[in-house]
Chain A
Amino acid sequence: MKLEELKEKIDIDVEGSLSRFAGMEKMYIKFLKKLPEDGNYEKLKEAVEKKETDNIEVYAHTLKGICGNLGLTYLYEKSTQIVAAVREDRAQEIPGLMNELSEEMEKAAELIRKLD
Chain B
Amino acid sequence: MRNIILIVDDIEMNRAILSSVFEDTYQILEAENGQEALELIRTREKEIAAILLDVVMPVMDGFELLRCMKAEDTGREIPVFLITADASEKNMREGFEYGVKDIIQKPFIPYFVRQRINSVIELYMTQEQLRETVEHQAAVIEAKVEEVSKVSRSVIEILALAIEFRSGETGLHVQNIHDLTKILLRRLREKKFPDCSFSDEQIELIATASMLHDVGKIAVPDNILNKPGKLTKDEFQIMKQHSLTGAEMLEKMTDIQANPVFSYAYDICRHHHERWDGTGYPDGLKGNENSICAQVVALADVYDALTHKRCYKPAIEKAKAAEMIVNGECGVFNPLLIEAFLDIREQIIMEVE
Contact = CB atoms under 8 A, between A and B. Distances in A.
Given A65-B11, A69-B11, A19 B107 contact: yes
Interface string A60-71: 000001000100
Interface of A: 19-24, 27, 31, 65, 69
Interface in B13-53: 13, 16-17, 20-21
Nearest to A20: B107
Given A22-B21, A27-B20, A69 B107 contact: no
A59 to B, nearest CB: 16
| Chain B interface SS verdict (over half) | helix
Interface residues of B, number: 12
Contacts of B11: 65, 69
Given A22-B107, A31-B16, 9 more contacts: A19-B107, A20-B17, A21-B17, A22-B17, A22-B109, A24-B17, A24-B110, A31-B13, A65-B11
23 contacts: A19-B107, A20-B106, A20-B107, A21-B13, A21-B17, A22-B17, A22-B20, A22-B21, A22-B107, A22-B109, A22-B113, A23-B109, A23-B110, A24-B17, A24-B20, A24-B110, A27-B16, A27-B17, A31-B13, A31-B16, A65-B11, A69-B11, A69-B13
B198 interface: no
A25 to B, nearest CB: 12
A60 B290 CA distance: 92
Contacts of A22: 17, 20-21, 107-110, 113
A26 B141 CA distance: 57
Contacts of B17: 20-22, 24, 27
A31 B20 CA distance: 14
Contacts of A31: 13, 16
A104 B114 CA distance: 38
Contacts of B110: 22-24
A102 B109 CA distance: 34
B42 to A, nearest CB: 30
Contacts of B106: 20
Interface in B248-285: none
- Counting chain A CB atoms within 10 Å of each CB, which of B17, B106, B110 scores highest? B17
Contacts of A20: 17, 106-107
